[in-house]
Amino acid sequence: MTSAAIPLQTIRGACGHDCPDTCSWVVEVRDGVAERLSGDPEHPFTRGTLCAKVNHYLDRVHHPDRVLHPLKRVGPKGEGRFVRVGWDEALADIASRWQAIVAESGAEAILPYSSAGVQGLIQMASLDMRLFGSMGCSGLDRNICGAVAAAGLKATLGCGTGIDPEEIVHSRFIVLWGTNTIVTNLHYWPLVREAQRRGAKVVVVDPIRTRTAEAADWHLAIKPASDAALALAMMHVMIRDGLVDHDYVAQHAVGYEALAERARQYAPEQMSETVGLPAEEIERFAREYATTQPSLLRPLIGMEHHRNGAMQFRTVACLPVLSGAWRHRGGGLARSTHALQFAVLDMDRVLMPEVAKPNVRVLNMRDLGSDLCNRELRPQIRALMVYGTNPMVSMPNQSRIREGLLRDDLFTVVHDLFVTDTALYADYVLPATSQIEHLDLSPAWGHLYLALNRPAIAPLGESVANTELFRRLARALGRTEDWLFESDESMLRAALASGHPWLEGISFERLWEEGHARLRCPEDWRPFANGGFATRSGKAELYSEPLEEQGHDPLPWSGEIRTAGGLQLITGKALHFLNSGYSNMALHRRRAGELFVEVHPEDARRRSLATGDAVRVWNARGSVRAVCSVSDRVRPGIVWMPFGGFVDAAGERQSVNVLTLEEPTDWGGGSGLYDAFVEVAPADSTAPRA
């Protein structure tokens, strides 16, 4: 039969990358081969388009460097020399090494290490949690992104979310706060535009003049980490000028008097220097925000990567309480919908927390380098199982992680599609499936649609999905419990059978046919219009007793803002990479260009730097080579670099995270990634190299 005579199948799925959009896609398959992958035009939110990265997803699936068989290291760690081995040999060796470690040091000496590399319900966390939890392996706080924001908002609102983001079209004053929507949340931008068309003013608060800031009506280029100071200065104006919705506050908030007293210390003229804006601009912003309803805050990632990250979110969350914006359709605050999606699914049935051993230590993913190098840790980490993440690129303090991964007495297994920067140090690299080769449910964190990702083709080579990997490992470890071998479909059906009213009519069969469905969130859903906050008091907590009990300031404050010498390093997403993903593909590498650093003209002049110069960016932790780009996109005193799997200009596999540090945030378990300071100098200068 000619290929044209073989029928073409269209199979619906969804992107599994860590991105708020969770685009639905359609894969055209003929004779078991994926011929085309494109956005699903029937998805109401993502509307048939994908992003610059994922438009070439099939090139990633069929990339010649894809790991298709288990690999065993034969050279020194880091050199990347591996030989092909069979699954049976690899599994038997891994199981016996783990069993020996458990017998000698206890199961906590094994650290399973994973993140959102595969962002789906069961491929991100299901059988792995059951297996490692029941073994008593070390737990992992996966708090590098999102957790700080959620923890901060929770202190004020009792939850880390807000209104349905699609309600933005009803807003009249929109503040995109620390988020570059056009680049990192691109399918949301048409809704922002629609609101603008209906008369909304769009304000961007961001130290960098991003593409989104350029497209907005007003850009407030504040200093990094001064978001809470700005919010308090706004509250000062609102309270002073009688712009508070006292009726809403009296009914639905606690601690107003104490907050008013605190806000008195944050007059705009006093905060002007801290925030980096003229007092008059702060005044105008506060007044317009408070008096233009519905007003909506859209804070995403930016402000959480500071040491005061949780307090920043906690403080900003007080604004819609004072303004009473929650009353109005399209008003309040819209952040991740992750918690809304996961609240409707039966996650306990998927994760089975009851099978986990109690009182097991939990390590924070941010501290990987320090923990691996810590000889005093009891028990010391002796085995690392990495899946769905590439910490050598995506975690802070890369040099320390490398030092840890180089330990001869560390047994490392990596499950991935490619020999990543982390996999170079692995004893075994196991082949993982791509998103079109496995089944999953995709709850979005940027909207309220749930998608089913159907496998479009069979796993390539000997690759296996995360769930299948953990079934195989359980078998190799001699485990026989049924719940370690549950099928993917069975887990997904169980998750959907929670009985939650928002899932009414959304069955596995329907998702299989239609690909996606919107959660049955009520029309015109205003979660806090009449209070009902999920805090201890049941009200919005402007004064928080739980925070006080944990040793934090119970009232909003600016938090400690670091102003160390040097240039503050802010990092952001590169358009053509997704963290380290796609950085091994020639087209994406070419489009992303060389690793560069943006320096303000004043800072460049002082250092005799010009655009195109080869420079070194360094601090006490390390040094990377980059190309200088002189730009007033950044404020004086700030430099901006893209993060991801760049090879630096010296040809070394160094990500920008060689310069960042693991310093903890105030609470929420994140990292003050953006509180790193650096120097920039010509590459051939004699300034000290770290």
CA-to-CA distance for 418 and 653, rounded, in angstroms?
Answer: 15
Q: Do residues 627 and 594 make contact, with C-beta atoms less than 8 angstroms apart?
A: yes
Q: Which is nearer to ligand SF4, 15 or 303 (CB)?
A: 15
What's the min distance (Å) between Cβ of 651 and ligand SF4? 28
Cα 497 to Cα 479: distance, rounded to the nearest angstrom: 27
Task: Give, in order, the Cα–Cα distances in Å from 62 to each of 71, 89, 302, 436, 460.
Answer: 18, 26, 34, 11, 9
512's tokens: 């299989």
Site for ligand SF4 contains 17 (CB under 6 A): yes
Residue 22 as a binder of ligand SF4 (CB under 6 A): the answer is yes
Q: Where does this chain touch ligand SF4 (CB under 6 A) — which range of 16-24, 367-375, 617-625, 635-643?
A: 16-24
Applying CB under 6 A, which part among 17-25, 207-215, 448-456, 472-480 lies near ligand SF4? 17-25
Strands 24-30 and 33-39: antiparallel
Select the residue interacting with ligand SF4 from 11, 12, 13, 23 (CB under 6 A): 23
**How many whole angstroms from its chain centre is CA 589?**
22
Site string for ligand SF4, 555-584 (x = CB under 6 A): -----------------------x------
Q: At its nearest, how many Å lie between ligand SF4 and the CB of residue 65? A: 20
Residues 87, 389, 149: CA angle, nearest 5 degrees: 150
Q: Taking CB under 6 A as the rule, does residue 450 contact ligand SF4? A: no
Position among 12, 21, 138, 283 found at the interface with ligand SF4 (CB under 6 A): 21
Does 585 contact ligand SF4 by CB under 6 A? no
3-state secondary structure of 268: helix
Instruction: Name residue, tokens 């099939």.
Output: 58
SS3 at position 312: helix
Q: Which is nearer to ligand SF4, 23 or 473 (by Cβ)? A: 23
| Site for ligand SF4 contains 346 (CB under 6 A) | no
For the bound state, the minimum distance from the C-beta of residue 443 to ligand SF4, rounded and expressed in Å, comes to 13
Alpha helices (H) along 67-118: 87-105
CB of 32 to ligand SF4, least distance (A): 24
The residue among 46 and 134 lying less far from ligand SF4, judged by its C-beta, is 46
The backbone region for 196, taken as left when phi is positive above 0, alpha when psi lies in -120 to 50, beta otherwise, is: alpha
Q: Which one of 19, 333, 426, 628 is in contact with ligand SF4 (CB under 6 A)? A: 19
**Min CB(46)–ligand SF4 separation in Å:** 6
Which residues neighbour 335 within 8 Å (Cβ) at sequence distance 6 or greater?
149, 150, 153, 160, 161, 162, 298, 299, 300
For ligand SF4, the closer of residues 22 and 623 by Cβ is: 22
Nearer to ligand SF4, 54 or 395 (CB): 54
Q: Which of residues 46-75 bind ligand SF4 (CB under 6 A)?
A: 50-51, 53-54
Q: Which of 122, 145, 186, 253 binds ligand SF4 (CB under 6 A)?
A: 186
Q: Where do runs of H (alpha helix) occur along 20-67? A: 57-61
Query: Quick one: which segment of 14-22, 69-77, 208-216, 554-562 binds ligand SF4 (CB under 6 A)?
Result: 14-22
Interaction of residue 203 with ligand SF4, rule CB under 6 A: no
Nearest of 662, 664, 678, 570 to residue 619 by alpha carbon:
678
| Cβ neighbours for 609, distance < 8 A, ≥ 6 positions apart | 599, 603, 615, 628, 630, 680, 682
Identity of the amino acid at 494: A
Tell me the closest approach of the beta carbon of residue 608 to ligand SF4, in angstroms.
39
User: Does 15 help bind ligand SF4 (rule: CB under 6 A)?
Assistant: yes
Give the interface with ligand SF4 as residue ranges (CB under 6 A): 15, 17, 19, 21-23, 50-51, 53-54, 186, 578
